[in-house]
Amino acid sequence: MWSLFSGRSEDTYRLWRLSSFHITEVARPSMDAVEQHDAFFNSFNLVRGPCLGSGAVGEVVLASAKHNSSLKVAVKIVTFETEGCKGDFLSEVGFLRDLRHPRILEMIAFAMDDHHGFMLSTYFKNGTLRDTMSSDHPVEEPRILRHILDVASALRYIHGLHIFHQDVKPRNILLDDQDRAVLADFGIARQASDSSAMVMKWRTTPGYSGPETRKRRPMSPFK
């Protein structure tokens, strides 16, 4: 059976139910991966759309409601190749279920079976900050400053809860309809016991970590 969990916001969940995304349970089929994905999309009455992006352990695809193609969501599909992948998925949905901040990605629901995790979130048609950076036009300074302030506000919020993201980079920053930045991808985020906790081992994306994370000595993720 698919295990189904609602997202953090009751209102969003209600809207989701009202919006013809009828959620039913289906038996987990013993088929290959692609067919298992199909079973998931069918069970959520979703039509699978194009790939929006991919990462180390899966991909994010666009999906629309079967009965109303204008209702769209992003679906992150993680293949549990190792226990670590499953742990990261559970950790990400655990954070996103509880976090409530306008500059942090809103999870709508998630589902999983033994081999895959599926996370449904708001779809951002403008893509990521990385997509903007790769366009021909340079990003103007006021716009950059606004994005920095947006991400800083998301980080201040999670740091207050002793959560550190570890993977802040343009590919993990989505842009909404008002060109405001929204922090996503909590796959390697972790929570410390308190604000004075020190971290020795960091998981980061090469090229985006501070030089201090390579010094191999305990450091605060919050200072």
Ligand X SMILES: Nc1ncnc2c1ncn2[C@@H]1O[C@H](COP(=O)(O)OP(=O)(O)OP(=O)(O)O)[C@@H](O)[C@H]1O
Chain residues in the site for ligand X (CB under 6 A) = 52-53, 55-58, 60, 74, 76, 121-124, 127-128, 167, 171-172, 174, 184-185, 187
Residue number, 87 or 160, with CB nearest to Mg ion: 87
Asked if 128 contacts 175 with a C-beta cutoff of 8 angstroms, the reply is yes
Distance of CA 219 to the CA centre of its chain: 26
Which of 88, 92, 113, 185 touches Mg ion (CB under 5 A)? 185
Q: How far is the CB of 110 from ligand X (least distance, A)?
A: 13
Cα distances (Å, whole numbers) of residue 56 to 59, 102, 117: 8, 27, 14
Q: What share of the chain is helix, strand, coil (3-state, %, to 5)?
A: 30, 25, 40
38 has catalytic annotation? no
139 binds, among Mg ion, ligand X, none (CB under 5 to 8 A by kind): none
Q: How far is the CB of 195 from ligand X (least distance, A)?
A: 26
Three-class SS state of 63: strand
By beta carbon distance, the residue nearest ligand X is 55
Three-class SS state of 209: coil
- In the complex, which residues of this chain contact Mg ion (CB under 5 A)? 55, 172, 185
Instruction: Just list the catalytic residues.
Output: 167
